[in-house]
Every structure is written in C-alpha cells, then in structure tokens.
Chain A
C-alpha cells in the first residue's frame, strides 16, 4: 500500500510535462520551428547538389584501377557524351541505358569504342561496344543489371585516342546481381 501513487497526481504530472511550454525551456513550437529550418536547409543542399552533374574526377580507387587497365594514363575529359539513365531504378535487373555522342563518325576520325562502367557492380567494366565508321552515329541503347545504388559511367574512345566521359547516379531498390 505504501508505494501506491494516486492516479490523479500521476496524470497531473504527465499532463504538466507535456503541455507546459514555459517550464521546459524548449517548447514544442521552438522544436518544430528548428526542425523545419533544418529540413529546409538539408533539402536546399540536396537540390543544389543534384543540379551539378557528377564530377568525373570523383572516382573511387577500384574504378581508377579499371580505368588504368583500360586506358593507361590517358585522361578522361567531360563532354561530348550524353548518358541517359533513370534517377531511380525500381528493378536492378533491368536498368535501361542510353549513350549518345555528338562526335563524328567519319572514315578518318570516328568513335572507336563505347565503354560502360558501373562502380558498385561485381564486374565494374560492364560492356564495351567497339564501333566502326559504318555505324553512322555513336549511339547505343541497352539494358543492364545493377547490384546497388551506384554511379554509372559512359566513356567514349575516339580513333585518335581521346577519351570523353559522362557519369550519372542511379538509385537501385532491388538487387540485380545476386
């Protein structure tokens, strides 16, 4: 009987701690205001980040190794390549990819190869499309598998050895690689 607390007193205490703004010093209103501000600050930062295309020199070490193996020390420049991928891929087993380049396909100077790389896949160098001037326009469309959210890179190699690239982030919800 001694440790029994009257119901009225307990409820009163709870009620007070929930509703009293002046006593806590950190009211619900100020908390909401602060969290709203924080949310907007984060949203603005995220939007600002999305507007810029992904920088090409932001390359993880494992991808740098693959690039080194493929192209040696030749630098990959940004531009001349348009990479079309979905921002969010519902199914990682089928992600449509479209690569297009405005580089000429003339007999003396043409796009020799189009490379497709996915940073977070087991096999980073996913595909290589070797072309000839017979291909009137450097354009490739295919469907790929992605294990998880990852940058996708398209690198175009011209017959004179120049490298042009583009990259985009794809968010993946279903693992397509096992």
Chain B
C-alpha cells in the first residue's frame, strides 16, 4: 500500500461571509500505528501516530487536539469555526517520532 505520510488537505466552504460559522474539514495521511499490531512475519509494528494537532487562525490558536493512537488511519477531523476576519487557517500535525506536517487554507470573504 502506498502512503505518502504527511500529505494533508484542509477544506473550507466557498462563499464565506463575515461572521459565518463555517465547517472546517482536515485530513492528513498517516498510518496511526498503535504498536499493538504485528506484520505478516510476526514482528510487532512500532507505534507511529499523530498525538498533537494545533489549529491557528491568523495569529491566534483556535483549537488544540491531543490524540492517542485510537484515532483512525489517515486521521480526519471536522469542526466549526467562526469566520470573523480574513486570515490564514493553519493546521500543524505532530507525530510521536517528531514528524511535523502543516497545511493552510485562506479564509476570504465574498464581497
């Protein structure tokens, strides 16, 4: 199975107006190995998962998620955000081996 660890997408709706509460969806490709599974040869697969997600909106932290390995492979998360200014929405995912993955989306209002 090919998997590009860290490839990420952040989806925001189009046609946002000032003050709207929008749905933000984000997905990052990651195996999220629990450390409890074994490969076909019987060797344990070491734990490898994202444990920290920071969402910043402009220069402020909007949300901060702490995950265990219990979140599914290619972790997906959806939540709301009050779009009250035009700014960059930035996601930073960190895994337990020091990997850092980032993705941004620009929040712009329709005139």
Contacts and interface: CB of A to CB of B under 8 A. Distances in A.
Contacts of B77: 140-142
A125 interface: yes
Interface in A96-122: 105, 118, 121-122
Contact of B63 (A121, A130, A144, A178): A130
A142 B76 contact: yes
A129 interface: yes
A139 B69 CA distance: 21
Interface of B: 21-22, 32, 34-38, 57, 60-73, 75-82
Contacts, number: 101
The 7 A-B residue pairs whose C-beta atoms are closest, nearest first, are: A178-B36, A136-B21, A136-B82, A178-B37, A141-B78, A126-B70, A143-B72
Contact of B69 (A94, A123, A133, A135): A123
Nearest to A121: B70
Contacts of B65: 127-130
A93 B72 contact: yes
Contacts of B70: 118, 121-123, 126-127, 144-146, 177
Interface of A is mostly: loop
- Secondary structure at the B interface, as helix, strand, loop or mixed, is strand
Contacts of B22: 136
Nearest to A118: B70
Contact of A123 (B68, B72, B78): B68
Nearest to B38: A178
B71 A143 contact: yes
Interface in A55-108: 93-95, 105
Contacts of A145: 32, 34, 69-72
Contacts of B76: 142-143
A167 to B, nearest CB: 16
B36 A135 contact: no
Q: Which of B57, B70, B72 has the most CB of A within 10 A?
A: B70
Given A129-B63, A130-B65, A143-B71, A135 B38 contact: no
